[in-house]
Structure 1
């Protein structure tokens, strides 16, 4: 079975490109992030015509996550247990707020069982800055996800946590570690929150199969970042033991960053034995 995660940075702008990738790659399940649309705006019919069932969770032109599967799409959930929400206040003198809400305000997680694997498409909060409430929210979000992930691993569930994690785990995962000093994505608490999934028994599959250095999944649109290979590695797949033991390989499809209309992220592909 072939699992893929891809932050497409607007599905309506790139639906043709995504469908062409699905046809070329023969992906069985695609976890999509940053769809940037409401549920009623998602191009579901185009995916169904290509042979994929779709589940989407989007509330506005921000965030948005989806799963497209040709091997089943069951028990869809649009939040994981304990997932916090986040609200931006209107008043300039009032801080943004981390909220315990149901459902979460931001569309950042969707899970479904696809071909016997519980696949989650995840768009981890950015964090903005180390002194921003969104950073506190990010750490709380990751901790809640880790707690759920631990429960699933303890139950021996087959789980793949796929998506844009907005964490740079190692200095070799960024073109210039010094350029990110004192910023989000590389702070010790964020890296510890990311590493905690390994402590919960999960294996990050791209790390298991791909080179450790200068293997990027994201390049900014500015300052010729892609031609200069000024990239980041922030898209990952954490697999529970029941999935990790089936993994046979991983590929980062760098070519999808080329050409007109490319997303700033590229697909990350993981293959599992039947």
Structure 2
């Protein structure tokens, strides 16, 4: 079973590339982020034509997450994170599909830091950890997939100095990510690529793609039951280089039975 996460950076603008990727790679589950559309604008019919059922949590102009399943309909089990009634951002969607619990996550960027946006990022990560602990307690296969906006290690970026002042590389962000992992989650890409140098994002600016100046911020975290089934993981890097592509590349895992 292949499960992928893909920050599409605007589902309407990137729809041809997204449909192309789905048709070529046929993931069983695809978690999307930054769909950047209200619920009524989500192109569900386009995915149905390729055999994908979908659920989504949209928002006008930015944010937004979705979960697609091949030849199946995801059953929603959660929308948003508890702990902040004033948080109206569409950043978390959770579903049951194929005997798994899967979440699509778009973690706050946090820039500029320090400031309220960075405080929101750290608070959101605490709320994510709390939900993760609830899911771990169920002792079922769980995949938390998405754009975490955290670069965990120096070897997860082309230059350790390049983002030193960015919210994605602050000690507080990294510590919060590692605290989540310490509860029992497995970082799938890091497991198979412990030396790093696996990028999932390349900025549109400064020739980042052409120079391979990327970094890893798209992660798939696995509960112990899911981690026991982990066979492979990787990045569909070539899709980043296509015309009018997202600045992220699809990132995936394969689970055995």
Query: Fold conserved (TM > 0.5)?
Result: yes
Counterparts of 1:2 and 1:213, CA distance in 2 = 21
Report the equivalent of 1:131.
114
What is the CA deviation profile of residues 104-160 of structure 1, one whole-angstrom value per residue up to 9, with x for unaligned ones? 311111111110111110000000122220101100101111111112112202211
**Offset of 1:211 from its aligned partner?**
5.0
Question: Do the aligned partners of 1:246 and 1:273 also contact (CA within 8 Å) in 2?
Answer: yes
Query: Counterparts of 2:165 and 2:75 in 1: how far apart (Å)?
Result: 42
CA contact (8 A) 2:190 2:196 kept: no
Q: Is the 8 A contact 1:56 1:64 kept in 2?
A: yes
Number of the residue aligned with 2:6: 6
Shift of 1:187: 1.1
Give the 5 Å matches for 1:255-274: 255-274=238-257
Deviation at 1:188, TM superposition (A): 1.1
Partner of residue 61, structure 1 = 61
CA contact under 8 A between 2:54 and 2:73: conserved in structure 1? no
Separation in 2 of the partners of 1:174 and 1:23? 30
Residue correspondence of structure 1 range 191-230 to structure 2 within 5 A: 191-210=174-193, 212-230=195-213
User: What is the aligned partner in structure 2 of residue 97 from structure 1?
Assistant: none
For 1:178-189, what aligned pairs fall within 5 Å after superposition?
178-189=161-172
- Determine the C-alpha separation between the residues in 2 that align with 1:105 and 1:75: 18
**Do the aligned residues in 1 keep the contact of 2:201 with 2:215 (CA within 8 Å)?**
yes
Aligned residue among 134, 153, 157 for 1:151: 134
Give the whole-Å Cα distance in 1 for the aligned partners of 2:32 and 2:11. 9
1:10–1:34 Cα contact (<8 Å) kept: yes
Runs (4+) off by over 4 Å: none
Larger Rg: 1
Partner of 1:93: none
| Residues 11-26 of structure 1: pairs in structure 2 closer than 5 A | 11-26=11-26
Alignment-derived partner of residue 96 in structure 1? none
CA–CA separation in structure 2 for the residues paired with 1:236 and 1:40: 28
RMSD, matched Cα: 1.2
Give the TM-score, by structure 2 length. 0.96
Question: The residue matched to 1:178 in structure 2 has which SS?
Answer: coil
Q: Which runs of 5+ in 2 are unaligned?
A: none
Partner of residue 88, structure 1: none
Secondary structure at the aligned position of 1:177 is classed as coil
Aligned length: 256
Q: Which residue is 1:169 aligned to? A: 152
Gaps of 5+ in 1: 85-99
- Contact in 1 for aligned 2:10/2:37 (Cα 8 Å): yes
Q: What TM-score, normalized by structure 1, do the two folds share?
A: 0.90
Query: What secondary structure sits across from 2:35 in the alignment?
Result: coil
Alignment partner, residue 228 of structure 2: 245
Is residue 126–residue 166 contact of structure 1 (8 Å, CA) maintained in 2? yes
Give the match's secondary structure for 2:145. strand
Q: Following the alignment from structure 2 to structure 1, what is the Cα–Cα distance between the partners of residues 164 and 47?
A: 41
